[in-house]
A and B are shown apart, each in its own frame.
Chain A
C-alpha cells in the first residue's frame, strides 16, 4: 500500500460524457502527478501540482483539466470523452523534505472505459 488513494477504481461511461477522478496523496506530500497509461502509449505524464499550483504540464488534452485543493487532494476532470480516452489513470505523490529521495508513490489507478 503506497498510501496514495484513487477513486473510483473502475469507471464505465459513454462518449461525450464527463468524469472526475480523485486522488488523495500520502500524508504530508505536497506534489501530485497525474499519468495516463493506454495500451499503445505507455505511461504518459499529464500534469503536476505542487501545493495547489500547477508546476508542470505534459501531453494533457484541452478537454482534460486538473486541480489541487487546499487539503492537497487532487481531481482530474475529463470531458467530451472519446473512445481513445479509455486508459488507466494513475496519480502519484512525492515526499517533501530536504533529504528525501524524490521517489514517487503511485496509487493503484482508475480504469476508465469509454463505450
Chain B
C-alpha cells in the first residue's frame, strides 16, 4: 500500500471548516484513499473514501487532486466532538471471492491530531 504523509497536528475553531491534507504521491491506479478518525482510545471510525472523484457524505467531503497524489478531508462545520486523530490511508480495492469481496488490511500511520477549540 502507498505511504501517506499528514501534518502532525492542526487546530480549528468551532463552527469553522477543518481542512486536513494528505500526500500520497506513490498511489497506484487501483488504490483508494480512505479516511478514518479515532476519538480518544475509542475504536477507529470510518469517515469517507474515494478513488478519483470528489466524494461527500453526511460527515465530510473528500477532495482528491486530478493526479491523485494528494487529497483533503473537509469537515464543513467542526464541533468540539470532532477533536480526534485523523488517519489518511491508501489501500487497494477489494478482491472478489466465492464468498463475496475480501478487503485487505488498513495500514495506519501517525495521523493528524485535530483539536477543535471554542
Contacts and interface: CB of A to CB of B under 8 A. Distances in A.
A108 interface: yes
Interface centre among B46, B94, B103, by most A CB within 10 Å? B103
A97 B49 contact: no
A103 B49 contact: yes
Contact of A100 (B97, B101, B108): B101
Contacts of B101: 96-98, 100, 102
Interface string A32-76: 010100000011110010110001101000000000000000000
B110 A42 contact: yes
B34 A103 contact: yes
B43 A2 contact: yes
A24 interface: no
B46 A108 contact: no
Interface residues of B, number: 30
A106 B43 CA distance: 5
A109 interface: yes
Interface in B38-71: 38, 41-46, 49
B105 interface: yes
A102 B100 contact: no
Contacts of A92: 43-44
B99 A96 contact: yes
A108 B102 contact: no
A90 B110 contact: no
A39 B45 CA distance: 19
Interface in A84-110: 88, 90, 92, 94, 96-98, 100-109
Contacts of A33: 105-106
B93 interface: yes
Given A102-B93, A109-B41, A56 B104 contact: yes
Given A102-B93, A108-B42, A108-B43, A42 B109 contact: yes
14 contacts: A2-B43, A2-B45, A4-B43, A33-B106, A42-B108, A42-B111, A43-B108, A50-B97, A56-B105, A94-B103, A98-B96, A100-B100, A102-B93, A102-B101
Interface of B: 32, 34, 36, 38, 41-46, 49, 87, 91, 93-94, 96-97, 99-111
